[in-house]
A = this chain, B = another copy of it.
Amino acid sequence: MTYCVGICVDDGLVMIADTRTNAGLDNVSTYRKLRLFSVPGAKVIAVATAGNLSISQSVISLLEEGLPHPETGERERLIDAPSMFRAAQLVGRAIQTLNAELGAALARAHVAADVTFLLGGQVAGEDMRLFMVYAAGNFIECGPDTPFLQIGEHKYGKPILDRSITFGTGLHEALKLGLISMDSTLRSNIGVGLPLDLVTVRRGALTPETTRRVETDDPYFRDLSDRWSAALRAAHMAIPDPPYF
């Protein structure tokens, strides 16, 4: 399993991904699922992946090496995308390319080939954007009404985002809420695990504010998890007992 969340608030962008992959319950490993494509001052694009690891890794490699343009044949790399929309189209095309090459063989082997991508960032001259690209190559864009998108094991970590994130939430508060959402998921699904990778980007900065790997023994993340548990306990204990008796 995987859990990745992208949050796009007025201040900027947060993307967080776990690193656990499993092929069966007895084959669990750590793989980076969050990638950064950046030309400081010109563009910053972050990509998070969920689903079949071989397909998502190959998509990333295609995006690094470049896909042949359908008409000119020229190779287009993600880092060269002139806009976030064109970047999302390129990710979609890379997924379609891999599915065309491998989809039928994987289906014959009864292996799920589905992948989902989060793609967030900003290119100089246009606004910051966040997209979710589906396995068919189509995509949706995050808007200010619900300023987050999730891929992978998204349900355990959704209630805190549903209740707390608005477009006006500050960037570091948004990162904190993303980490709480991640912690809720880690607790309830062993297929999602530490370490986490995260990136934050201020709107207009065109370069990452921070990139970080949160390791198993990260003192802030441990403290956040303990405080959250204690606060939830205090919260439900402060609610009066039901009067239904």
Contact = CB atoms under 8 A, between A and B. Distances in A.
A155 to B, nearest CB: 3
Given A155-B155, A227-B238, A238-B227, A160 B244 contact: no
Instruction: Bin chain A's interface residue count.
Output: 35 or more
| Interface secondary structure of A, over-half rule | helix
Interface stretch (A50-58, A66-74, A179-187): A179-187
Determine how many copies of this chain the complex contains: 2
A187 B163 contact: yes
Interface stretch (A23-31, A40-48, A99-107, A228-236): A228-236
9 contacts: A160-B232, A162-B188, A163-B229, A172-B242, A175-B241, A175-B242, A176-B236, A231-B236, A234-B235
Given A163-B233, A177-B236, 18 more contacts: A160-B236, A172-B245, A173-B236, A173-B237, A173-B241, A175-B241, A175-B242, A176-B241, A198-B244, A212-B244, A214-B244, A220-B240, A224-B239, A231-B231, A231-B235, A231-B239, A232-B232, A234-B235
- 7 tightest CB-CB pairs across the interface, nearest first? A231-B235, A155-B155, A159-B184, A172-B241, A212-B244, A227-B239, A158-B188
